[in-house]
């Protein structure tokens, strides 16, 4: 086998400049190729970001809230957030709370009750929180899953009985999500998650639909 040798070129010559530029381009290409091999766990469709962990403190319809006023205990209340995202409080009446975090709702209530409160303090606690997701496709127990805690994609698939190993294609799992009235589709490589190749868990949001596709087979 012939040895590959870089010929000696006088420093500052045009030939040396061209050779240096070519080597730099080659090195950059190799470096870029190495970086692209370590991709994340989500292969996205028409979206620029992967499904992120939801704000676990965000208030949702169906949540049970406890609102306490240390300086005015007669205003204390525990209520379930209605389907319209509202609750009813003394003096101020109805207020929309869905989408807010407890701290942001506390601040809003302190402003609304500023004239009535001697002690400027309000505490909002999410007593319980439930939401539903749907898992279908090549899993053993497809259907609706109701949870009272943040739920990852992997946990949802496990709740659905796990993958049907004879049919499932874990490399192309889809998450269908409605955001601001627009449906988004995320494609996730669940196999990387199962093999611990992905560090960050992918959390589901209320009403997400998870579709586990079947592997392509010439015998189908």
How many angstroms separate the CA atoms of 184 and 51, rounded? 10
Mean pLDDT over 91-115 rounds to 93
pLDDT per residue as tens digits for the range 18-53: 545 544 444 434 333 333 333 333 454 334 455 555
Q: What length does the chain have? A: 220
Kindly tell me if the per-residue pLDDT of 129 is higher than 60: yes
Can you give the pLDDT at residue 139?
A: 97
51: its two tokens:
């499904």
Read off the pTM: 0.58
CB 133 within 8 A of CB 202: no
Integer-rounded Cα radius of gyration of the chain = 27
Give, as one character, the DSSP assignment of residue 140.
S
Bridge partner residues of 178 (DSSP): 183
pLDDT per residue as tens digits for the range 195-204: 887 767 898 9
How many angstroms separate the CA atoms of 84 and 116, rounded? 27
Reported in sequence order, the residue ranges of 17-76 that DSSP labels E, i.e. its strands, are 42-44, 64-68
How many angstroms separate the CA atoms of 55 and 44, rounded? 21
CB 130 within 8 A of CB 204: no
């Amino acid at each position: 086998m012939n040895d590959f040798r870089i010929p000696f070129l006088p420093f500052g010559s045009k030939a040396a400049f061209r050779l240096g530029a070519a080597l730099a381009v080659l090195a950059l290409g190799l470096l870029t190729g190495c970086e692209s091999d370590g991709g994340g766990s989500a292969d996205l469709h028409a979206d620029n970001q992967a499904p992120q962990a939801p704000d676990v403190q965000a208030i949702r319809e169906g949540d049970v809230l406890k609102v306490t006023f240390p300086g005015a205990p007669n205003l204390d209340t525990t209520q379930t957030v209605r389907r319209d995202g509202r609750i009813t409080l003394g003096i101020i009446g109805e207020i929309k709370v869905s989408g807010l975090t407890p701290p942001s709702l506390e601040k809003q209530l302190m402003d609304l009750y500023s004239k009535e409160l001697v002690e400027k303090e309000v505490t909002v606690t999410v007593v319980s929180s439930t939401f539903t997701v749907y898992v279908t496709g090549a899993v053993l127990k497809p259907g609706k899953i109701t949870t009272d805690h943040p739920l990852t994609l992997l946990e949802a698939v496990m709740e659905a009985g796990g993958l049907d190993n004879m049919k499932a294609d874990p490399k192309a799992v889809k998450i269908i999500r409605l955001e601001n009235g627009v449906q988004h589709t995320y494609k996730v490589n669940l196999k990387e998650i199962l093999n611990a190749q992905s560090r960050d868990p992918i959390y589901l949001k209320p009403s997400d639909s998870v579709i586990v596709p079947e592997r392509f087979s010439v015998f189908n």
